[in-house]
Structure formats: C-alpha cells, structure tokens
Amino acid sequence: MFYNWVFDEEKNENKIALSTLTNSYTYGELKKEVEKYTKILSNYGDLKGTRTALIIPSIFTYVSLFLAVNKLGGTVVPISHQFRKHDLTSVLQLTQPHIVFTVNQHDHISHLELLKNWADESGKQTIVYSYDKNEDWAVYLSEGEAYEKDEEKIDVIGCSSGSTGVPKGIMINMESWRNWISQIEGSFGVSKNDLIFSTFPLNSPYGIAWALTSLKNGLKIVFPESFDVFKIIHYLKNNQCNKIVATPSAYNSLNMFLQKEDRSILERLERIMISGEPITPGFIESLKGMDHCKLTGCYGISEQGILLIKEDMRELYETGWDLVKGIEVRIEKDRELVFKSPAVLKGYYKRPDLTTEVLVEGWYHTGDLGELLGNKKIQIIGRKKDMIKKGGQQVIPGEVEQVLLKHKDVKKVSVVGVSHPTFGEKVVAFIVGDKLIAQTELYNLCKSEIAKYKVPDEIHQIKDLPMNQGKVDKLELKRMLAEGDL
C-alpha cells in the first residue's frame, strides 16, 4: 500500500514531507493526519470495494485522506474541486461513491450543497463528510440503499472527461503506480538535493504520480494549491527552486513575467520538465536564453504513464521523441500511436466495452497520430480524438456543447479549440438559434454548470453550422473564425 512506501523506516519524523506555497508538513504530521482519517474510516469496516471520493482543495488534507483510504484497502476517487454542477454530477453518477470528503464551500461554490442535492436525488445512501474554515468536519447521510461494492480491487479511479462528454473512470492499480514512479525517477533524474516546483494538480494521475514519487523518495517538491502566477513568482523569488514541472502554458505564463521581472529565478533553474500539452515551435522559441538549463519534454497519458521523452526540447522538430525505457510502440495504418506500458490502466470503470475498444492485449490506442522517424524516434503529428487542451487541462467539446444546449433558444452548437498564446488552445463555441441570444445568458449558464477553464472564451452566433459528409465541419468553423467570416 502507498502508506508503506511513504512511511518506511528511513524517514525522519521531522523531515518535510509536503510543501505548498504557504505551508510545510513533516512526515510526523502527515502520519498523524493519516491516522486520524484511518480512525474515522475504520468505522465503516473493511473498505475493500468501497469508493471514497475526495473533492479537497487542501493538499495536506487530500494527501492524508488518499493514504488513509488506500491503507484500509478502499478505492480513492480524486475529483477536481474546480468542477461545478454539471461536470461534478456526471462524475458522481459514474463513480457512485459510498463516502465523499469535501469542503463546505470553495471559490464561491457550495460543494456541500451540490453534494447533498446529488445524494438526496440519487435515492441512495451516501456519507458526505465536509469541513469548514476551521477544519471542523461534519457528516451528512442521505437516505436509501447503499451502492453495491466493487468485487475487484481498484486502488484509484482517475476521472477524465470522455470524448463524448460522458466522463471516464481510469482505474489504476498499485503495480501501475509503482511503474509511474519508476518512469519519473528514471526520466527526470530527480535527487534529494533538488527543490522542485510542480504546477500539476494533485487530482490528475500525473500529479498523483509526482506526489507519490516525492513522498516515497523524500524529495522536496512544492505543490501550489492553486495556480496563482504572482504568488508563485513571489515564492520562487524567496526559494531556491532548481527544477520546474509544468505545462507549456503554465511555464509560459511564469516565463513572460520572469523575463521582465526577475531573470535570476530563470538563471538558477537547472531543468524544466514540460508535458500536458503539445510542445509547439512557438513554445520552443520562448525557451531562448535558457541554454544553462536542461529543457526536457515528455509525452504521456493518464492511461499509460510517461511514454515519450525529449531530453532537449529544442531539437524536438529535427530529431523527434525518444521512447521511455520499458515502453513499446506501434503505429497503425491510420497513423494512430499505440503503446505498451507497464504503467497501463486496469480498464475504464464500468465500461468494459470502452476498455476492449482501446486496450487490446496490453496495447493502448492513444487517439494521437504519429510517425516513426527511424532509429526508434517518433514524431507526433496530431490528434484523432476531438479534444481541446487549455492551460494543461482537457476540455471535451461534447461536454461544453451539452451545457450550451440546455439554453432554451440554442438549437445547434459546436465547440472547437483554437490556438492561443497564453492558454495553448482557447475554447470557442458556435451556436445557432432562431433569435438573437444574449451572450451573458450563455456565459452565466456555462459558469454555473462547468469548471471555469471549460467555459468558452468566445461564443459566436451564426446562421447555421457548416456540414461535411453529415458531420459538423469544424475545420470550416476554424477557417471562418480565422478569416473573420462569421
């Protein structure tokens, strides 16, 4: 179990285990907190087959609960606290947690209210723990029959938006986590002398893998509780971070200010590790003046861990990606990249159909397109799946489209991703309606239903959607937008 990886005999109780921008917690404090939650959860007997959802913005509380649930043999379901009514409800419907730990209110959203409503409407029993500003926990129990327990052992169900807007639960077990950690250890040459800054949220599998690597090896990694550029810059000024783990858009945001403000922060960096979005020629251009630093890029997916690496990103377009040790690759006739990785998912939760569609004898079909350059080098050339990557987060057009269609006057809708200097890609919605629809109504609808990063950056009302062979012609929509032909 994760607990044994974290609290082995060599760790000194007073050593720092977790750091955020404002606080640090020792292994001793973390152990105590894990024990506190283990005691609470022990009231529910053996947790095997029991799903516990964590919707927690505090990293210390989140990690403690994560370790406690796993210690008791339960399934951890990490859920983003940025989710709103629509995306939160769809993830809850898929994973049907027996127990939920959440915060009463965060960022003007009453998570407790949303959870209570969902639990009551489901007619099933859910135990909802929620904490307030003073970190006091209260319990709410909805009435009804208990959800069925899972027969198979599942350690973590990571949630991602599926390609149709219906979420997918990525089941990842201990053996795969062990391999995720080995991939990070092997690919990035991390050591105990480093002070690493990571911008990845800890509810994503990649973020979890970094947290586990850090806790297992006693590394000094700082995980901010929210991506706040100025707080991060302030922290970097006062702390000697030598490595940064970030998406291109997060790094770009920091870089743009650091270039003007304080280049010394950039000058003391020894390595930056970039992943989570395509590494574009424009991004590589922004790395000028960073010759003193190793500029490592990596390509990975939640379903399989880290698959490709580029030791020096500046050469990516000349020489292509290298395979990470232990990974095998195949390229299909339609140029889809298919990998075999020891960090592979167990399957999609309650979706054996989807699992067999993409995972065949250990080979996973990524939905990304690529080509072999020879000498086992690979170039990624595009995406088969309809997905937008905004600020390192996935936005599935189908999910945003479903929300916009809830407006009574919206007849048709199509959402596309368009290249953007800060976000990587921005979310642009095209709608069709019989009468002119007030933009404010549409933005307000989206803001109340889905996480902020999924809310369209632009909404355009057009006469009709262009069609090609019975499908919305998204390329034509992008052309119309680029040429102002709306």
Contact 262, 254 (CB under 8 A): no
Cα-based distances in Å from 287 to 42, 187, 281, 314, 373: 50, 20, 10, 8, 25
Q: How far is the CB of 186 from other proteins (least distance, A)?
A: 31
**231 lies in the site for other proteins, by CB under 8 A:** yes
Say how many C-beta atoms besides its own lie within 10 A of residue 360's C-beta: 11
DSSP of 75-101:
EEEE--TT--HHHHHHHHHHH--SEEE
**421 lies in the site for other proteins, by CB under 8 A:** yes
In this chain, which stretch among 70-78, 148-156, 317-325, 453-461 interacts with other proteins, using CB under 8 A? 453-461
Question: Residue 143 corresponds to which amino acid?
Answer: E
Give CA–CA dist 405/271, Å, rounded.
Answer: 45
**249 lies in the site for other proteins, by CB under 8 A:** yes
Q: How far is the CB of 338 from other proteins (least distance, A)?
A: 33
Cα-based distances in Å from 431 to 231, 414, 437, 447: 37, 7, 9, 17
**227 lies in the site for other proteins, by CB under 8 A:** yes
Show contacts with other proteins in window 346-405 (CB under 8 A).
391
Q: Which residue from 386, 457, 473, 476 is in contact with other proteins, where contact means CB under 8 A?
A: 457
Q: Which residue from 12, 422, 467, 482 is in contact with other proteins, where contact means CB under 8 A?
A: 422
Q: Which residue from 96, 226, 239, 379 is in contact with other proteins, where contact means CB under 8 A?
A: 226
**140 lies in the site for other proteins, by CB under 8 A:** no
Give CA–CA dist 231/216, Å, rounded.
Answer: 27
Q: How far is the CB of 253 from other proteins (least distance, A)?
A: 4
**461 lies in the site for other proteins, by CB under 8 A:** no
**58 lies in the site for other proteins, by CB under 8 A:** no
**292 lies in the site for other proteins, by CB under 8 A:** no
Q: What is the largest CA-CA distance in the chain?
A: 69
Q: CA gyration radius for the chain?
A: 22
Helix axes 248-261, 229-238, angle to 10 degrees: 60
Q: How far is the CB of 170 from other proteins (least distance, A)?
A: 25
Pull the structure tokens for residue 357. 């569609």
Site string for other proteins, 61-100 (x = CB under 8 A): ----------------------------------------
**124 lies in the site for other proteins, by CB under 8 A:** no
Among left, alpha and beta (phi > 0; psi -120 to 50; other), residue 446 is alpha
Site string for other proteins, 428-447 (x = CB under 8 A): -----------xx--x---x
User: What is the end-to-end Cα distance of the chain in Å, rounded?
Assistant: 56
Give CA–CA dist 393/427, Å, rounded.
Answer: 12
Residue number with CB closer to other proteins (82 or 161): 82
Q: Which residue from 120, 261, 386, 476 is in contact with other proteins, where contact means CB under 8 A?
A: 261
Residues at the site binding other proteins, with contacts judged by CB under 8 A: 108, 226-231, 234, 249-250, 253, 256-257, 260-261, 391, 421-423, 439-440, 443, 447, 452-453, 456-459
